[in-house]
Structure 1
Amino acid sequence: MLGLLIADGNPESRLKFSQMFIDAGYNVTVTQSAADALYGILKNTAQVVLLSKEFDELPAAEFIPLLKQCNRDLTIILVADEMSLPLTRKARREGIFYHALKPCDAQDVDEIRQVVQCAFNSLQSKPCLIKVSQDDTTQTKSH
C-alpha cells in the first residue's frame, strides 16, 4: 500500500492533515522529526511527503535534497505560505511535485486533498487535474 508522510512542525497542521487523509483511506505516517522522516523514506513506507516550510529546525529548501537522496522518485508536496522567491525556485529545482500555500479555508484544504490524490495517481501513471479556485474563477492544472 502506498504511504503518505506528513512532515510538519506544527501540531495542529499535523492533526488536521492526518485526520483528513486517514478518513480518505490513505496509509498515513506523521512526524515532527527529520530523523523519523528520513527513516520512513529509506524504509520505503512513504512515497508521497507533505512537507511544511520549516521542519525540525531545517528549512524545506535544505531538507528536500536530503529526502531526494534517500529516494529520487519521492513525490514531495511543499506546503508553505511565506517563502522567498529564491527559496521557492530552489525547492522547484530540487524536484518538488507541487507548492501549495498553507490552507486558510475549505477551498485551500480541498486543493491539498486534490494534490495528494494527484500525486498518488501520478505514481500509478494515471493523469490528474487539480482545480484551484481564485477570486470566483476556477483554474485547472494538470500533472
Structure 2
Amino acid sequence: MPVLLVVDDEPAIRHAFQRVFRETEFTIRLVATAAEAMEQAARERPDVIVLDVHLPDATGLETFRRLRSLDARIPIILITGHGTADLAIEAMKEGAYEYLLKPLELGELRTIIDRAAQSSRLMSVPTAIADL
C-alpha cells in the first residue's frame, strides 16, 4: 500500500485528508510539525508527501529541503493558504511536484496525489532492480 504523509498544523485539514483517504489504497500518516514529518519520513518512507508551507516549527521550504534530502524521488505537494508567486516559483524550481492554494478542492487533490503516487512507484523501480 502506498504511504501518504500529510504535514499540516491545522486539525481540520488533517481530518479532511483522513476522511477522503480512509477507504483508499493509501496508508495515511498525519503529522502537525516539521519535526514530526522528519521523524515519520525517516521511520517509514512515504510514497507521497503533502506539506503545508506554514508550520509552527519551520518554514515549508526549509522542511521541503530537509525531506528532499532524505529521498529526492518522493513527490512533495506543497499547500498553503497564504501563497505568493515567488514562493511557488521557488518551490517548483527546487523540485516540488505541485503547489496548491487552500481551500483545497478534494477531488482535484485526490487526482494529483494518485498521479504523484504512480510517479513515485515508477521512480522506485530502478532502485528495486538495482538492489537485486
TM-score by length of 2: 0.83
Identity %: 24
1:78 CA displacement: 0.9
1:25 CA displacement: 2.9
Listed one character per residue, the Cα deviations across residues 47-75 of structure 1 (whole Å, up to 9, x for unaligned) are: 21111121233221221111111111111
Aligned to 2:71: 71
The answer to whether the 8 Å contact 2:33/2:57 transfers is no
Q: What is the count of residue pairs matched by the alignment?
A: 123
Q: Does 1:84 align with 2:84?
A: yes
91-100 or 5-14, which moves further after superposition? 91-100
Aligned to 2:34: 34
TM-score by length of 1: 0.77
Q: Which runs of 5+ in 1 are unaligned?
A: 127-143
The answer to whether the 8 Å contact 1:7/1:30 transfers is yes
Tell me which protein shows more strand as a share of its residues.
1
Listed one character per residue, the Cα deviations across residues 49-107 of structure 1 (whole Å, up to 9, x for unaligned) are: 11112123322122111111111111101112322222111111221101112135xxx
The answer to whether the 8 Å contact 1:60/1:91 transfers is no
Aligned to 1:125: 122
Tell me which protein shows more helix as a share of its residues.
2
Q: Which runs of 5+ in 2 are unaligned?
A: 124-132
Specify the code of the residue in structure 2 equivalent to 1:110: G
The answer to whether the 8 Å contact 2:79/2:102 transfers is yes
Cα distance in 1 between the residues matched to 2:62 and 2:97:
16
Aligned to 1:5: 5
Specify the code of the residue in structure 1 equivalent to 2:22: I
6-15 or 89-98, which moves further after superposition? 89-98
1:13 CA displacement: 0.4
Aligned-residue CA RMSD in angstroms?
1.8
Specify the code of the residue in structure 1 equivalent to 2:34: A
